[in-house]
Homo-oligomer: A and B are copies of this chain.
Amino acid sequence: MSQPAEGVATQFATIAIVGVGLIGGSLAAAIKRRSLARTVIGVGRDAVRMAKARERGLIDEAATHLGQAAASSDMLIFCTPVDRIVSQVREAAAACRSGTLVTDAGSVKGTICAGLASGLPAGVGFVGSHPLAGSEKQGFEYADAELFQGRVCVVTPLPASPRQAIDRVRRFWEGVGSTVLEMSPEDHDRALAATSHVPHVVAAALAAILDADKAPLAASGFRDATRIAAGDPELWSAILLANRDSILSSLQNYEHSLRKFHEALAARDAQRLKELLLAAKSKRDGLVAERN
């Protein structure tokens, strides 16, 4: 009998998801719904939470010992906070079989990819990933097998990354429905500073000044503009610190942009204000329509 050709279906015998929150839980659900692996192991420190994820059918096996899970998996995906990924990958890699593929779902790539550029056992390949999907919600209770469908996933190889490992990671993300963009970790971090990390700071700074007595007058505009500020402070402080330099640079651009609006308003310069608002509207209108 011939082996089945490697296609989208059942790319892996066993995938371990390390960190089963919103992203990890959604990935587990997506893998199972699309039959990308025969077995999905969920790895987490809290045995009770992991048992619940298993009861829900998100994962096939629950593990609290990273090394054991790593030893029996063909692929590991780290969905843990960005400041923990490097040390966890190192710990897991020591137990991995040769040929095991390792990636992550962290929102910052430079520090993670640089931290894993060398020193992993031969035969264990790490290629960073960042699926641009998520929510201000937390926990696998909000897991959604279609979270990655139609979304962009950025894959960030290093110059030394073997093409085969990059392609296997790409195929995995395509398998859960995403469109893959490949770029360097540094380009990723500069772009995400502008499109995600600075917007988070901007939204949080805005939410922070809402007086309780004015809350009844906060309508959909305020709610939209501050929605991301409901994200987990622990996760987000780690993201901001891990991409500090790009964020500070992008934040300076933003402050300069804000200053232009401030000055036009202070000067009662209607023409200038309209120009600034029109330029902003054109940029916003240029974004392609969202999926629902």
Contacts and interface: CB of A to CB of B under 8 A. Distances in A.
Interface of A: 132-135, 151-152, 154, 181, 188, 191-192, 194-196, 198-234, 236-238, 240-241, 244, 247-248, 250-251, 253-255, 257-258, 260-262, 265-266, 268, 270, 273-274, 276-281, 283-287, 290
A273 B240 contact: yes
A191 B220 contact: no
Given A258-B202, A277-B233, A195 B224 contact: no
Tally of this chain's copies: 2
Given A257-B209, A258-B255, A268-B244, A217 B274 contact: no
Nearest to A135: B220
For the complex, would chain A's binding face be called helix, strand, loop or mixed by DSSP majority?
A: helix
B273 A219 contact: no
Contact of A229 (B226, B236, B266, B280): B280
Contacts of A231: 277, 281
A254 B205 contact: yes
